Structure 1
């Protein structure tokens, strides 16, 4: 019996085990200490005198590395364990930050940025797999805690990084590296290995995935959803400044996103944890489409604020059920790999969304962008509802198998 199984037997379903709190602390420390990423473009353009296009290429390298890290982290979590993968990620991120902060030439900066993206993303699939190893009735609340902690940490980093940057960009890199080492210490002290001997398999991930049509369909739907979400946030500053609103006004409106997630997500967990997963996800996707469409067509501060709140509600709905849904889809011996693929949907959306959204805005205009966002939200809602029955059937089959095994 694993440490997780022992803990779960002593933990009521509505109480979170210590593993979830430890992983939440890792998210809070790691994201709260991520001072470099919010200031990366300014660092490159001011310290290294890079052009905006060159700085954008470096940021893209981070994104490409992050996409690859989701697949790599999932594979490593199955092969060497969740705990070792987390430690590798945090320690590797600290090294990559030191390399990025000391790199002088453009090729070295680009390589260090890609390495930073790879290392920084390893924790997500490994941590998600560790939560997936918990009993199903605890997963929704545990995943929601991780997402909430990550957003609280991001709010801290976004607020503090600007103050720190005024005292020198070098300080950002070293403090960020220290935060990664602190997160690694939390793993050492409080995160047990959750992968049991029974979960160790010689099966390969790719053949299993290629035969799992429901997993492929769900991943593609979520790539579309995250692309829609990220294009909305990427085009929002352009839309608002195009209406002659100041950057300060944009910042104030955007702050509603973090505030709404921090305040409303705990309430949403209580309200949505036991709801049908497919319906919750479909409704969340529809809200993302409505928010993105309204953002493109809004003309007032109140219109933009409502759009951001709709986007935030969509994010909250996705966060409540995303991890638990994909954890239920995954075979026990391939959980980490499956969740790595699921996380890569977010990373791919973060790459595609800004590209598609800004190109559509430039070529066709705000009204067409809004219409596409609305239509995409409706299509995603229909697609997710179409597979909701198959999700319920898969969950019922797994529950039956577990009951038989007991």
Structure 2
């Protein structure tokens, strides 16, 4: 990967509004108690069947599929700040309703709204970072947001178990409370950054995005990446069980993902900002594919742990640069919509395709073929991303010139 002339030491200070967004990401993840414990709450506290509880959890997922798409569209039409406030405050209200609901109709509706509003803020945050910062500063900023998310999630997964032993209702109220705190931070410290066109008009998102071949190819590559990534939460536990490793061992192994991110990210973040973005993205996705590919030759807990560490290193590079690449690619007036489409289409589709392909491949072709297929797919998207790099560079230059003008 070629490097730019920028050095970590020359990196400018990030603005106050960015750090407010960083606090929001951290606080939001620190209070993310409900979704991991939702099925347990519904079966143990509401005495629903496992199938019904799973279906309610799926309702949250159904809302999440369109959440970022809606959030991106709203942020372009009505403003980034307003979208974040609606998302955080609406999520707080929906969580309280879900925690107090007694009828199944109310539980279903509240669960869907939690999913719908819970991720609305993401494209608005990504677009605001791109609005606030120059292109050369964005990789470092997105990397810091990624670190805040993982730091908060690491703490919340430990504390949620303790709080759940006191009472599930406490999880709903604290989760809602952290959403309100995040909204207050946005209200007091984050200005509106949405670009305003000279004539006040707004282009429709889908006609522009669906004609953008470079954007659509990027989405296709990210679906491939997400297909590999979600093997860690679907196929990996089954493969480890096939090697006579317990579910608790899987829990410890997958926990390394968060630990490595929290420990390593701060030390490499500024350095990652100096690399060519499309090439770093391509290399990171290849590392993730090869990390999962190690599953073809390992059968012990430490072998799987090594695999997780390798693909987590790739994930760190991917997460630091992917937001900046899409920000460079998106037209300024449709930045939120592009971010929302990217999130909902790539990871939304990948979260469905990945588990289906992986578990069926494991059942019918066996673990060795499944993990080698992950490595092969990583190599394919690596080549595809490198081939797309010139188009991404041209688009970034054109958009930078348009913003200056």
Instruction: Specify if TM > 0.5.
Output: yes
Displacement of 1:402: 4.7
Comparing 251-260 with 39-48, greater Cα deviation is found at 39-48
Correspondence 1:196 to 2:198: no
Provide the residue aligned with 1:164 in structure 2.
163
Provide the residue aligned with 1:179 in structure 2.
178
Q: Is the 8 A contact 1:82 1:193 kept in 2?
A: yes
SS at match of 1:166: helix
Unaligned runs of 5+ in 1: 1-11
How high is the TM-score relative to the length of structure 2? Answer: 0.92
SS at match of 2:197: helix
Q: For the structure 1 residues 293 and 257, does the alpha-carbon distance in structure 2 shift closer, same or farther, using more than 3 Å as the test?
A: same
Correspondence 1:299 to 2:303: no
Displacement of 1:398: 2.8
Distance 2:50 2:315 in 1: 29
CA RMSD of aligned residues (A): 1.8
Provide the residue aligned with 1:73 in structure 2.
71
1:93-148: CA deviation from partner (whole Å, max 9, x where unpaired): 01111121122344432322111011110110000010010221221111111111
Distance 1:47 1:401 in 2: 56
SS at match of 2:83: helix
Provide the residue aligned with 1:246 in structure 2.
246
Q: Among 7, 13, 16, which residue is 2:14 paired with? A: 16
Q: Is the 8 A contact 1:70 1:121 kept in 2?
A: yes
Correspondence 1:227 to 2:227: yes
Correspondence 1:382 to 2:383: yes
Displacement of 1:297: 4.7
Displacement of 1:88: 0.2
Distance 1:88 1:297 in 2: 48
Q: Is the 8 A contact 1:125 1:340 kept in 2?
A: yes
1:179-221: CA deviation from partner (whole Å, max 9, x where unpaired): 1111111111111111133385421001111221001110111
Correspondence 1:289 to 2:276: no
How high is the TM-score relative to the length of structure 1? Answer: 0.92
Distance 1:53 1:296 in 2: 33
Distance 1:354 1:158 in 2: 23
SS at match of 2:234: helix
Distance 1:308 1:54 in 2: 32
Q: How does 1:336-355 map to 2 (within 5 A)?
A: 336-344=336-344, 345-355=346-356
SS at match of 1:197: coil
Displacement of 1:278: 1.3
Provide the residue aligned with 1:95 in structure 2.
93
Distance 1:315 1:233 in 2: 14
Distance 1:364 1:160 in 2: 39
Distance 2:188 2:355 in 1: 39
Displacement of 1:56: 2.7
Unaligned runs of 5+ in 2: 1-9
Distance 2:359 2:37 in 1: 21
Q: For the structure 1 residues 126 and 401, does the alpha-carbon distance in structure 2 shift closer, same or farther, using more than 3 Å as the test?
A: closer
SS at match of 2:102: coil
Q: Is the 8 A contact 1:36 1:172 kept in 2?
A: yes
Provide the residue aligned with 1:311 in structure 2.
311
SS at match of 1:196: coil
Comparing 76-85 with 129-138, greater Cα deviation is found at 129-138
Q: Is the 8 A contact 1:232 1:295 kept in 2?
A: no
Displacement of 1:248: 2.6
